[in-house]
Amino acid sequence: MATNSARADDTALPAVQAPRATPPRTAPKKPLRRFDLESPATLRILSALLLVAVLCFWEFGTRAFGVPKFLVPPLSDVLAALWQGLSAGLLARDGYWYHGFITLAEILLGFGIGSAIGLALGVAISQNRVLEALIQPYVAAFQSIPKIAIVPIVIMWLGYGISSKVTIVCMLTFFPVLVTSVAGFKAVDQDRIDLLRSLSATPWQIFRKAKLPSALPYVFAGLDMAAAFAVVGAIVGEFVGAQAGLGVLILQADAQMDTGGSFAVLVVLSLIGIALTKALAMVRRRVLHWMPAEKSERSLGP
């Protein structure tokens, strides 16, 4: 009997243990997103907020501190003059469209001709040391002459028409492109040229495969500077002598003590400069597609 009871105890099923209560699962904590001050979206928002703050201070600050309107007009006066000039007809002599087209034509023609001549001469100088030795002293001498001092002489030679303004813009845009293009063609890696020569490359192939790609960032940096100088050259030429243009509108507004009108014309000029810079940036991205965006848009600085 004892043996049977022992066997019964041995064959008895073990006691079923109750399952342990598992703690409820909690969702994993999401990492806190850090505020990226250098992101493009954040920079655009901060730039817009800064612009709004400056405009608000301009409008309310001039009124609060009692600044005379002939010194610094309120923003509302500038916007009213801007609306009045833009709402005029395309051929209205007191509007911005007629004079703006003339100034824009002077800027584009002078910028295109001056930049093309500067780039062509830069290529020629970089390819021929004899030509560089012959032309470099004269280029340096002419570059040291203040271009503003030549403007009255150019107006006297070519008259008050558009040709004199185009010539002035050419003189101001020629040198930045020339200097930067020469620097770019000289900055090419000599090892690349030696490699191409070892592969029996022609001078044209060396120029197209090595020198030109290395010089293009420098050339576009010079074009950026030339674009700013083009706007300045056109307005200075119109100040000295012109029959139409945005510079003439500025002189007329200053003669009437209409500072708001002068500021409105400056806004139009700044928009023209921004549009020209944006157009150059688009061309740069298309031409320098093989470079990273941050490098292709970098100037000559480090």
Q: 69-88 pLDDT, tens per residue?
A: 888 999 999 999 999 999 98
Q: 259-272 pLDDT, tens per residue?
A: 999 999 999 999 99
Supply the CATH classification number for the domain 69-291.
1.10.3720.10
Question: How much is the mean pLDDT over the chain?
Answer: 84
Structural domain boundaries of the chain? 69-291
Q: What average pLDDT does this structure show over 284-299?
A: 66
Q: 162-201 pLDDT, tens per residue?
A: 999 999 999 999 999 999 999 898 888 888 888 888 887 8
Q: What is the pTM of this model?
A: 0.80
Question: In the chain, how long is the greatest CA-to-CA distance?
Answer: 139
